[in-house]
Structure 1
């Protein structure tokens, strides 16, 4: 008997639908006509043991217990799902072949592996376990996935990476949370001060942004615009580019702060001859945008519809599990398997049925177009989020589901439109030995951009990279051509403070965290790879900070509370900046790629914990605002699916842990 173990019931039902009929539904599993069985977890069935399971004294929070380090890790069944674990225990014993069908990500891999380990599955059966990777819950896609089973042993490094991450978060979160909560109590603050290796740097981003805004002093700066005409009386405007001699009068961003200097330039260039020192006209094109991963989708949904990251994720989960209208949503990948291109016509036909109001746009799509998005070399366990070939009435969807589905559908549709083509013209002008630049961009073929016109209405001209860009094209010029400069214009502007974070910009900061990392080596590694948190956890991390009342919403803005500010100011810098967690993610990726082992990651962390706890003991926390108590047991939730981290006091064994075992 083959036993398929899915991550959740909805995935289990989708797998069962692809097996021989008739199906027999039982309590916690489904039996196919050929005797094979599908069962499931309900998220994590296991959780770390409570601290007092290791030692009764750990039920009380005391500084002398810290740092708490485990000698042998223990998992225990979650009370609410203990019954399903018993179902799996019986089925695993009866099976002759196991198929791991967790979600296609790091946490999904560990989630089923830890159950098999806890149930003490024999080594031979574990070694023969197969891995089923499903990105699309529709019947045809599931059947295809069933034909492509892989050995589960191929994914051991992914499971070890998830195990290292969960234990490291456990160690760091429980020790730091207890330490700073205890110090907070000394100052009269009786609520939990939750500290986590992901949540706290996110809070730090907001606190430091708020401080920049509060301490910002606006300053005037000046720009000079030359109004020019050709011999044929063709008019355009060019912007002054200050020379190196002007550096003493400029700020770090190249803005001129001296009004007298700018006024002098206006006086010198008005009503003077000018000459073209350089002119270029080039036809360029912009490729179609890649389909979404979860973070990119959450950012666009926030900008377009003011949906929070969690609202977008919830809509995605429903579209995937309940409606089967999109592929696996917790993806960090923006590329597609090349073989999937053959299904383009089917998916476009489904969009035509589902989105009748977009019929004209869908009819213009060419399913034969194949962009760089189709690339097997860049697809791993899961691919970008795209629509499926499922047809339905969108009236069945909630408003948020409709909005999110529309974004995903449009992004996919753009893949089958031509590239956006435009002509770019750039002129460098000399007036009284001063340099001025003008630039224009003229559409040749909108291509895929035609799909985005309703939300991107451009103004007639705008300033780009210190130049003036015109919507209408610059006149055709030649090098050496003589122009006439008329009365120049002095523009006085004010420097602006940074904008408060919103859901979109905070998500963008988390995914592009290299901008905030101080260590140049880590920044180099992260620039094109890892972010802060994972696709699956970023929304919950942000929501947790609101739940802890460290953050508060003011309209679309996200601001830190006084409690959040006081906590960040009390913590050592490494705890509140992204460098440490970015380094962790880099190392965890190396574990999943077999470039680093478990102990090489964990041992430095343990050593660092001693230092961090010593710093906490010497810290005085002030300025806290009382918050409303929830009455829930305090714990530090980071980026795990497990609800309750546990702790022990003993040293960790140097023995390398096996993902086959719970210790």
Structure 2
């Protein structure tokens, strides 16, 4: 009997639908017509053990116990999924062949691997297990995936990378969360001061932005525009470009802060001849943006529709699992397999059949046009989020489902539309010894921009000009402006900051690493991390903006700087990527982390949490641990030794450990 183990019931049903019938639906699995079976996990069936599972003395939170570092790692069944785990245990024993059908990403690989290991599959079954990679739940795509099974052993490095990340997050998050929460208790604050490898640098980013805005002092600056006229009486404006001699009167961004200097320029240029010293005109073509990955979709949906990152992920998941209108949504890739190009016409037909508003663009869509999106070298386990070939009742979708399907569809159709073409003109003038610049942008062909309505084509013109042409500066205009503070983060800009976190790092080596990785968090985890910071009371919404709270600021002020910046997570992601590529090992990643943890705990002992937080303590209530799919993973199921740590005095919130991992 072949046993297919899917990550979720929806995926299991999609697999069974294309396999031999008749089907017999049993409790926790589907028996196929040929005797094979398809079963499923329910997300994580297993979770990392709590500290108290290693040693009962660790149940109360006491500083003397820290750091808690397991010698042998444990997994335990999640209470609500024990029955499904029992089903899989029986089926694995009865099977002759296993097929791993977890989601096509790092966490999906580990999720099913850990179940297979925990339930004691034989060495032969593990060695011969196959891997099924599915990004599209429609029958044709599932059948194609089944015909291209790989050896699951090829993905062991990916699983080890996910395992290292999971355990490192557990060690770092649980120990520092306990340490700083204990210090908070001393100041009378009874909430959880959670610390995590990703959540804390993200909180630090918002805290620093908020403080920068509050401490900002606006200053006036001045710009000069020359009014220039041709012999034919045509006029245009040219902006003054200050020379190096003006640097003492400028700020770091080159803005002139001295009004008298600007006024003097106007006096000097008025009524003076203007010499056109250089004219540059370039015809440019701009190709359509690539299809979405999850982060890019979350950012664009936040801008257009005001949707939170979590709302986008949940809606995409519904479009993928329930409606089967989108491909796998937790993708970090914006490219498509070259083999997928053969389905382009079918996908276009499905899109335009589902949405008549998009059918109007069919005359401009040419499926023989092939954009750079199709590139096998850029695709790993999963590809960009695109519509499927499924025809559906569009009226059955919710407003948010309709909005996201439409947005994803437009970005896909744009791949088959003409480039945006325009002329860029730049004119350099000399007036009374000063340099002035005039520019123009003229659209020639809107191309794909007419489909993506948020991308409006620019249009500005200049008179017909030539180098050496006689011109006259008739007057000068003084524009007084004021420097503006940076803007508070919104869902869109915070997600953009997480994906482009290298912009906020000063160390050139760390910046380079971050540019080469996913940034802060991953496409699959960013929404959950942002929501966790709201749940913890570290973030609050004010209109569309996201602000840090007093509690969030106090935590950042107490932590060592290294814990509040992205540098550490950059180094982690770099090393985890090397593990997945077999360029590094699990131990070379974990050992330095455990060594450093001792110093971090010792440092936290001297921290004094401000007593002003006492009044901000959350009201007492029964708490439940918040666990994400990626929040609990481990490899070994039996502990041979207790975790290291000592004994000490009690603290509340015994179940908050694992939810602080990131």
Match status 1:298 vs 2:298: yes
Q: Given the superposition, is the C-alpha separation of residues 322 and 363 from structure 1 closer, same or farther in structure 2, using an over 3 Å criterion?
A: farther
Q: Supply the distance in 1 between the matched residues of 2:167 and 2:56 (Cα, whole angstroms).
A: 21
Distance change >3 Å, CA 639–CA 601, structure 1 → 2: farther
**Which residue of the partner structure matches residue 285 of structure 2?**
285
- The more displaced of 621-630 and 279-288 is 621-630
Shift of 1:118: 0.5
Q: Determine if contact 2:75/2:633 at 8 Å carries over to the other structure.
A: no
Report the CA distance between 1:21 and its aligned residue: 1.2
1:480, distance to aligned residue in structure 2 (A): 1.9
Q: Is the CA contact 1:164–1:598 (under 8 Å) kept in the aligned structure 2?
A: yes
Mapped pair 1:649 → 2:643: yes
Quick one: distance in 2 between partners of 1:630 and 1:305?
A: 36
Residue 122 of structure 1, CA deviation: 1.4
CA distance in structure 2 between the partners assigned to 1:558 and 1:294 by the alignment: 20
Identify the match of residue 628 of structure 1 among 602, 618, 628: 618
Alignment correspondent of 2:234: 234
CA contact (8 A) 1:196 1:638 kept: no
Counterpart Cα distance in 2 of 1:581 and 1:79: 32
Contact 2:25 2:31 in 1 (8 A): yes
TM-score (norm 1): 0.94
In 2: Cα distance, 1:328 partner to 1:571 partner: 38
1:543 has 2:514 as partner:
no
When normalised by structure 2's length, the TM-score is 0.94
Number of corresponding residues = 639
Distance 1:515 1:639, change over 3 A: farther
The structure 1 residue matched to 2:513, chosen from 525, 529, 543, is 525
**SS of 1:290 mapped into structure 2:** coil
After TM superposition, the structure 1 stretch with the greater mean CA deviation from structure 2, 517-526 or 68-77, is 517-526
User: Is the contact made by 1:635 and 1:644 (CA closer than 8 Å) also made in structure 2?
Assistant: no
Deviations 1:263-290 (A, max 9, x none): 1111111111010111011111001110
State the Cα deviation string for residues 611-642 of structure 1 (Å, max 9, x = none). Answer: 11111100001142524346345768688343
Q: How does 1:161-560 map to 2 (within 5 A)?
A: 161-453=161-453, 455-457=454-456, 471-560=459-548
Task: For residue 101 of structure 1, report the CA deviation from its aligned partner.
Answer: 0.3
Task: Please report how far the alpha carbon of residue 542 of structure 1 lies from its aligned counterpart in structure 2 after TM superposition.
Answer: 0.4
Query: Could you say what secondary structure the match of 1:532 adopts?
Result: coil
Query: How much does 1:394 deviate?
Result: 1.4
SS at match of 1:505: helix
Match of 1:608 among 587, 596, 605: 596
Comparing 443-452 and 494-503, the one that deviates more = 443-452
Partner of 2:648: none
What is the deviation of 1:363?
Answer: 4.0
Whether the aligned pair in 2 keeps the contact of 1:195 and 1:636 (CA below 8 Å) is no
Match of 2:74 in 1: 74
Tell me whether 1:591 sits opposite 2:579 in the alignment: yes
| Maintained 8 Å contact 1:637/1:643 | no
Counterpart secondary structure, 2:616: coil
Compute the displacement of 1:457 (Å).
4.5
1:192/1:635 CA distance change after superposition, 3 Å: farther
Q: Which residue of 1 aligns with 2:654?
A: none
Moved more, 528-537 or 27-36: 528-537
Output the CA distance in 2 between the equivalents of 1:376 and 1:630.
Answer: 54
Maintained 8 Å contact 1:198/1:638 = no
Judge conservation of contact 2:163–2:634 (CA < 8 Å) in 1: no
CA contact (8 A) 1:173 1:638 kept: no
Q: For 2:412, what is the secondary structure of its paired residue?
A: helix
| Residues 644 and 503 of structure 1: CA distance in aligned 2, closer, same or farther (over 3 Å) | farther
Q: Distance in 1 between matches of 2:110 and 2:634?
A: 17
Distance, in Å, in 1 between the alignment partners of 2:619 and 2:377 is 50
User: Partners in 2 of 1:20 and 1:343 — Cα distance?
Assistant: 25
Structure 2 distance, partners of 1:62, 1:145, is 51
Task: Verify the 8 A CA contact 2:51 2:58 in the aligned structure 1.
Answer: yes
SS in 2 for 1:299: helix
**CA offset at residue 159 of structure 1?**
0.3
Evaluate the alpha carbon distance shift between residue 63 and residue 637 of structure 1 in structure 2; reply closer, same or farther with a 3 A threshold.
farther
Residue by residue, what CA displacement relative to the aligned partner does 1:140-192 show, whole Å, maximum 9, x if unpaired? 00000000100011111110010000000000000000000000011110111
Please give the per-residue CA displacement for 1:519-567, whole angstroms capped at 9, x wherever unaligned. 2112112224321111111001000100111100000000001000111
Q: CA 1:293/1:351 → structure 2, altered by over 3 Å: closer, same or farther?
A: same
Quickly say closer, same or farther: Cα 1:178–1:141, change in 2 above 3 A.
same
Structure 1 stretches lacking a partner, 5+ long:
460-470, 652-663
CA 637–601 in structure 1, closer or farther in 2 if over 3 Å, else same: farther
* Alignment match, 1:658: none
Q: For residues 425 and 405 of structure 2, what CA distance do their matches in structure 1 show?
A: 38
The change in CA–CA distance for 1:634 and 1:64 in structure 2 (over 3 A counts) is: farther
Q: 2:550 aligns with which of 545, 557, 562?
A: 562
Q: What are the within-5 Å matches in structure 2 for residues 10-49 of structure 1?
A: 10-49=10-49
